[in-house]
Structure 1
Amino acid sequence: MRVGRVSWLLPVALLVACTAGPSERPAIVVNDGDPGPPATTEAGPQPLPPLGEPKNQAVRWAQCGPEITDRLAKLAPPPALKIDCGRVNGVLDSPYAPGRGTMRMQVLRVGSGPVPLVVVNDVDGLPSTLYAVKLAMTLSPDFLTKFSLVGLDRRGTGNSDAVRCVPEEVRAELVALDPRAGDVNAWVDLARTAGQQCTLALESRLPAIDTWRTAADLESARVALGMERLHAIGHGEGSRVLSVFAERYPNRVGRMVLDGVPDPNEDAAVTLAGVAEGADALFSAFAEDCARRGCELGADARQALSEVLAAEPLATDDFDLTPGIVLRGVLAALPDRQAWPALSKAIADARSGVPDALAAFAAPVVQETDELPAMFDGTLVTRCNDTRGRLSTAQLEATAKDWNTRYPVFGGLTAQWLALCSPWPVASHPVTQPHAMSAPPIVVLSTATDAVTPHAGTQHAAQQLASAVLVSWQGTGHGALGVSPCATDTVYTFFSDGKIPRDGTVCPP
C-alpha cells in the first residue's frame, strides 16, 4: 500500500457505536501516581552515593531471540561485545485500575561490567535496547568491563508491549500530508480519527503510556537488577523519564547522566518552537558540512531538498515519497552526524529519481511491519498523553503559518504535532515539573545545535533540577556522549570515580 493520497471511509456506525450511550467504565481520571518511597528527610541535594553492586538480581539473562538479533545485525556490533536479553515486569497503573495490571518490558544488557547503567532513549528514536548497543560501540572497552549498559524498551515501544493502534490507512494519509501547506483542518480530522481508533485498540492501556508511569518502570527495573540505587543514562527525550524518576524517587537516585533534556515548559507551543528552531539550525549545519566536504548536493543542500519536495512524489514498493515522508526521513537521519554522508546521498538520489535510500530513513517512523510497529504510533500516544495544551483551530493555523515562515524546513512538520494532540481523547493534565530537591548531583549534557533537545531547553531543565550540573558541548547533532571526547571523559570519571564536573563546564566542538 502506498502512502500517497488514500481514499477510505470509516463506517459511521462504528463511530456512533463507540461514542453514543453511557459507558460502564469510569471516566479517565488523571492519576498523578504514588509519590514513591519517602524522600530523604535531609533538605537539599544529597552527596553522590557509592556505586554498589547487584544483590538478589531477578533478571534472567539469556541469549537474545531473533526478534532482537535481526535488528542488531543492522548495527553490526563487534563479536567481542557481550550482549544478553531479559524481561522485567512493571505495573500498568492505568487510571482505570490504579496500581494494577502488568507491563512486560524488554531489557538488553551489553558489556560485562558488574554495575548496571540503565539506558533510556527518545520515544521516537531507536528502542532503548538497540540504542544501548549503539552507545556501547562508541565507549571504551575498559568502561564496559566495569559497567554494563542495560537498555530498557520503554512502555509502548520496541518489545515492551509496543503500541499498534493507528489504522494503516489513517497513518498513511496523515504522514503524507505536506506540512508546509498548513492544512490544519485535515491534520485535526485525521488526528481525531487516530485518537478514536487508539481508544478502541488500547482501551485502558491508552492513558497509561506516559512519562510519569515510565519513570515507575525504571523503579521496577532497579528492583529487578538488585540495585540499591538506579544508575542511568538518558538520551534526549529519554532524559525526561530520568528527571521524573528523580522527582518521584529521589532517595533511589544513583549516578545519572542526562544527555540532552527537553524543555520542561508546560506550554507545548513554546517547547516545540525551540525544537523547530533547533531542527532548522541542525539542517543548516548539515548543509555547511555538505558543502565543505564536497558532497553530492553541491554548495546548496537546502535548494536540493527544496527540489525534492517540489517534485512529483516518487513511488516505492511501500509508499510514495510525498513531502511529509521526505521531511520525516530527513529529520530521522539528521540528528546522527555519522549518517550525514548517507543522508546527502539519499537526497541526491531522490533528486535524480531514485527514492529508496531516503524512503529507508522514513520507513521505521511511518511503516508498520510484522516485527515492529511504526514509531509514529508510540510517539503519538506518549507525546499526546504528556501534552497539557489543546489549541483551537485558529491558534493552530496562526502557529503553522508563523513557523513555516520562521523555520522554513521543519516549522510546519513541528507545528503538526500541536494539531495531532489537540483532539486527543485523554484529558490533558499538568506536565510534571521535576525539581528533585533532595536528589544527589545529576550531570546534564547539552549540545549547542540539537534538533531534538535544543541547548536552551536543556539549559532550562538543568536550572530547574536542584542538583544538576551542566556540561555544554559546542557541537552539532543529538547528544554529546560517545561523540564529544570531552563530554565522554567527563561522564567516565563521574560514573567510575564519582568526580562531579564543575557546573557550566564547556566542551569544545
Structure 2
Amino acid sequence: MPRQAFRGRAIGLLLPVLLTAAACAVGPSVRPVIAVNDGSPQAKPGEQATGSLPPLDKPSGSTVSWSECGGGARARLGELAANTALAVRCGRIINELDAPNSPGVGDVALSVLRAGTGDIPLVVLNDVAGEPGTVYAAKLASKLPPELLKTFFLVGMDRRGTGTSDPAQCVPDQVRARIVGFDPASSQLDGLLDAAHKASQECVLDMDDRLAALDSWRTAADVDELRKQLGVPKLNAIGHGDGSRVLTVYADRYADRVGRLVLDGSPDPTLDPAGAAQAGAVGAEAAYTAFAADCKARACPLGGDPRQALTGLLEQVRAKPLVNPNGAQLTAGGVLQGVLTGLADRSGWPALAEAISKAAGGDGTALGRYTAPLLGVVNGNPARLDAQLTQCNDTQTRLPPEQISGMVKDWSGKMPLFGGLFAQRLLLCSSWPVPAKPLAAPSGHGAPPILVLSTASDPVTPEEGTARTARQLASGVLVSWQGGGHGALAQSPCATAAAQQFLTNALVPADGTACPP
C-alpha cells in the first residue's frame, strides 16, 4: 500500500489526544517538519493521518512456560524484581541456530521475560550492545504509563548472543581492556588492530558456526518464533536502537505477520559503515552539546564550560590514567566510552556530570561504572563488547587500517570529542569473518503503518538516520522529539503518548509531528 494512503485525509487533531494522554504539547518545532517523501502531499503537523492497523488479538495456545524468575534473573533486575506492579515472570524458548554453513542444524536458547498485567503481548528488542532485552523491557515497563500495561504485557527477549541467550563471551579480558581503553585521539592503530585481530581469532575458535549465526537476519526469525510461541497471529513490538533494525528486517520477511510496530531511534539504513560511523560521531557531539547546555542551566559541578571540563579530563588521564579501587585503569578511551554510555540516559545526566567532576578530582570510580559493562560481568550480565562485535556480521565492509587512520585524523578535527572514537570502531571488524550476504535496505512494503520516533540529540542513533528509516519504509510515520538521549520512549511524555495511542487505540499520528524538548 503506498505511503500516501496514510497521509491523505486528516481524521482529527493530535494535540487534544496527546494532551489528554500525557499533558504535553504537540506542534511544529522551530525547525522545518521533516520531509518523509519526495513531494507527495503531507498531513499538517498536529493532525492524525488515516491508516489501518491490525486488531489486537489475545494469545491463543501459547506454549511459553512462564515461571518465577530465578536468583540470577532477579539479581540482573535489581530492585525491579521486587516491583509487584510489574508482575515479572521469566521464560525460555528454543529456535534453530541456522548458521550460514549449517542451515537447519543446531538450536539456540533464548531468555524471555514478561512484565505487566495486560492481555496482549508487546515484544521489546534492545540494542545488541546495550542492556539485555529482558532487563531493558523490565526497566521500560516501570517507566511507561500504567494504562499501557493494562492492555499489554511487555515481553523482553535477550537477543541471540546477549544476556543469558547463549551469550557471546569469547574475547579475553585483557583484549577487551585494550580495545575499550585505546586512546581515541591516536591515529597510530597498530595496537588496536592487534587487539581486534586477537578478539576475532578467539571468537572464531571459541564459537565456530555459532559466531556467524549472530546477526539481525536470524534475530528476526527468533522474533517470529517468539510470536508463534506467544500464540498471536500478528507481532506487536517496540524496537530500541538497532533493535528497530531487526524489526524492519522482520517487516520485510514477514509482512503479513506485522501488527503494531514502534521503532524508537533507528539506525540509518541508507549509509555504509563509514558514513554511519561519521553520522554517529556527529550525533554524539550534538548529544554532549545538549548535555553541556543542561549542565550549565543546572549550575552543575562542571562549571561554566562542561566541554572544556571533559577535554581537560581527557588530557589529565592521558598523562596519568586513573586507577579505580577494583584495580581497573581509566584511560582516555574508557572516559569517552563511559561518557557516551551516560549520554544515552537523559534522566541520568546529573549523575554523569557528577561522575565526570569526581574523575577530574582524581576519583574515577563513578565514571568507571559506565564503562564496566563493556569490560566484564556486571550484575550477572555478560560483557557487552563481545555482543557489540557481532554487529560485524551484518556488513561485508572491511576498511584498510591506513584509510581508517586518515579518518581518525580528519574526524578528530571536525568532531573533537568523539570523531576519533567512532573512526577507530571501524577497525574492529577488520579481522572478522565476512558474511556471504549483507543486510538489504528495508522497504516495509505490505506492512501496516509503522511508527518511527526520532530524538534530536541522540548519541547512538542520530536523528537524521532515524528520519531516513521513516522515509525508507513504505508505511513509516515519523514523530520527532526535540530532546536528548538515546530514544524518546519513556523520556518524552509527548512521544510516549503518541506511541501509547498508536499501540492501544490504533491512532496513527500525522507524519512529521514534532514534540517539544
TM-score scaled by length of structure 2: 0.87
Question: Which ranges of 4 or more aligned residues in structure 1 deviate by more than 6 Å?
Answer: none
Alignment equivalent of 2:381, drawn from 369, 372, 382: 372
Deviates more, 1:439-448 or 1:427-436: 427-436
Contact 2:74 2:81 in 1 (8 A): no
Provide the secondary structure at the position in 2 that maps to 1:87.
strand
Whether 1:357 aligns to 2:362 is no
Counterpart contact for 1:77–1:133, Cα < 8 Å: no
8 Å CA contact retained: 2:76, 2:379: no
Q: Secondary structure at the match of 1:181?
A: coil
State the one-letter code of the partner of 1:489. Answer: A
Aligned residue for 1:210?
A: 215
Of 267, 279, 285, 1:280 maps to 285
Q: CA deviation at 1:302?
A: 1.4
Give the drift of 1:199.
Answer: 0.2
Q: Is the 8 A contact 1:266 1:430 kept in 2?
A: no
Letter in 2 for 1:107: V
Aligned residue in 1 for 2:172: 167
Q: Tell me: CA distance 1:370–1:361, structure 2 relative to 1, closer, same or farther (3 Å).
A: closer
Say whether the 8 Å CA contact 2:302–2:357 is kept in structure 1.
Answer: yes
- What is the letter of the counterpart of residue 109 of structure 1? R
Q: What does residue range 63-74 of structure 1 map to in structure 2 within 5 Å?
A: 63-73=68-78
C-alpha change, 1:426 and 1:370, in structure 2 (3 Å) is: farther
- Which of 260, 263, 267 lines up with 2:265 in the alignment? 260
Aligned counterpart for 1:441 among listed residues 449, 452, 472: 449
Q: Tell me how far apart the structure 2 counterparts of residues 46 and 505 of structure 1 sit (CA, whole Å).
A: 16
- The match for 2:150 among 145, 161, 166 is 145
Asked if 1 retains the 8 angstrom alpha-carbon contact of 2:455 and 2:488, the reply is yes
Q: Aligned to 1:401, which of 401, 409, 434? A: 409
1:103-137 Cα shifts (integer Å, max 9, x gaps): 11011100010100000011111111111111111
SS in 2 for 1:178: coil
Matched to 1:245, the amino acid is Y
Which residue does the alignment assign to 2:321? 313
Q: Report the equivalent of 1:478.
A: 486
Partner of 2:433: 425
Equivalent residue for 1:235? 240
CA distance in 1, matches of 2:271, 2:362: 43
Which segment is superposed worse, 133-142 or 320-329? 133-142
Partner SS for 2:73: helix
Residue correspondences, number: 464
* Kept after mapping to 1: 8 A contact 2:343/2:485: yes
- Alpha-carbon distance, 1:476 to partner: 1.1
Contact 2:337 2:371 in 1 (8 A): yes
Alignment-mate amino acid for residue 228 of structure 2 = V
Q: Deviations over 1:62-107 (max 9, x none)?
A: 1111111112115576332211110111111101211221111011
Counterpart for residue 37 of structure 1: none
- Do the aligned residues in 2 keep the contact of 1:163 with 1:378 (CA within 8 Å)? yes
Q: What SS does the corresponding residue of 1:234 show, helix, strand or coil? A: strand
The aligned amino acid for 1:336 is D
Contact conserved, 1:212 with 1:432, CA < 8 A, in 2?
A: no
Q: Map 1:9-24 to 2 at 5 A.
A: none
1:58 corresponds to 2:63: yes
Letter in 2 for 1:342: A
Task: State the identity %.
Answer: 50
Tell me what 2:44 maps to.
Answer: none
Residue 197 of structure 1 corresponds to 202
Is the 1:368–1:374 contact (alpha carbons within 8 Å) kept by the matching residues of 2?
yes
Alignment-mate amino acid for residue 371 of structure 2: A
Residue range with higher mean Cα deviation, 249-258 or 90-99: 90-99
**Residue 237 of structure 1: CA displacement?**
1.3
- Deviation, 1:400, is 1.1
2:459 equivalent in structure 1:
451
Q: Is the 8 A contact 2:76 2:381 kept in 1?
A: no
C-alpha distance in structure 1 between counterparts of 2:335 and 2:436, whole Å: 31
Preserved contact between residue 441 and residue 468 of structure 1 (Cα < 8 Å): yes
Describe the shift of the 1:369–1:496 C-alpha distance in structure 2 as closer, same or farther (beyond 3 A): closer
Residue matched to 1:346? 355
Distance in 2 separating the partners of 1:145 and 1:88: 25
Within 2, Cα distance between the matches of 1:472 and 1:77? 34
CA distance in 1, matches of 2:213, 2:381: 20
- How far apart are residue 423 of structure 1 and its match? 2.1
User: What SS does the aligned partner of 1:180 have?
Assistant: coil
1:38 matched residue in structure 2: none
Listed one character per residue, the Cα deviations across residues 329-355 of structure 1 (whole Å, up to 9, x for unaligned) are 111111101111111111111111111
Q: Secondary structure at the match of 1:444?
A: strand
How far apart, CA to CA, are the structure 1 residues paired with 2:436 and 2:353?
40
> Cα distance, 1:370 vs. partner?
8.8
- Answer yes or no: is 1:271 the counterpart of 2:279: no
Q: What one-letter code is carried by the residue in structure 1 that aligns with 2:466?
A: T
In structure 1, how many angstroms separate the alpha carbons of the residues matched to 2:106 and 2:439?
Answer: 24
Question: Which amino acid in the other structure matches residue 167 of structure 1?
Answer: P
What is the Cα deviation at residue 372 of structure 1? Answer: 2.9
Q: Name the CA distance, whole Å, in 1 between partners of 2:82 and 2:254.
A: 34
Cα shift at 1:369: 5.7
Q: Which amino acid aligns with 1:293?
A: R
- CA distances 1:278-326 after superposition (whole Å, capped 9, x unpaired): 0011011111111110111111111211222112111121410111111
Equivalent residue letter for 1:187: L
The answer to which of 186-195 and 292-301 deviates more is: 186-195
Secondary structure in 1 matching 2:239: strand
Q: CA deviation at 1:367?
A: 2.2
Q: Tell me which residue corresponds to 2:515.
A: 507
Say whether 1:188 aligns with 2:193. Answer: yes
* 1:344 alignment partner AA: A
Aligned to 2:337: 328
Aligned residue identity for 2:361: S
- RMSD over equivalenced CA pairs, Å: 1.6
* Selected match of 1:411 from 413, 416, 419: 419
Q: Does 1:391 align with 2:413?
A: no
1:439 is paired with a residue whose SS is coil
Q: Any unmatched runs of 5+ in structure 1?
A: 1-44
Residues of 1 paired with 2:376 and 2:257: CA distance? 38
Q: Alpha-carbon deviations, 1:145-177, whole Å to 9, x = none?
A: 111010011111011111101111211222221
Shift of 1:267: 1.1
**Cα deviation 1:4-60 (Å, max 9, x = unaligned):** xxxxxxxxxxxxxxxxxxxxxxxxxxxxxxxxxxxxxxxxx9932111110000011
CA separation of 1:149/1:166 partners in 2, compared to 1, >3 Å: closer, same or farther? same
User: Which residue identity is paired with 1:198?
Assistant: C
Query: How many Å apart are 1:406 and its aligned residue?
Result: 1.1
User: Which moves more between the two structures, 479-488 or 104-113?
Assistant: 479-488
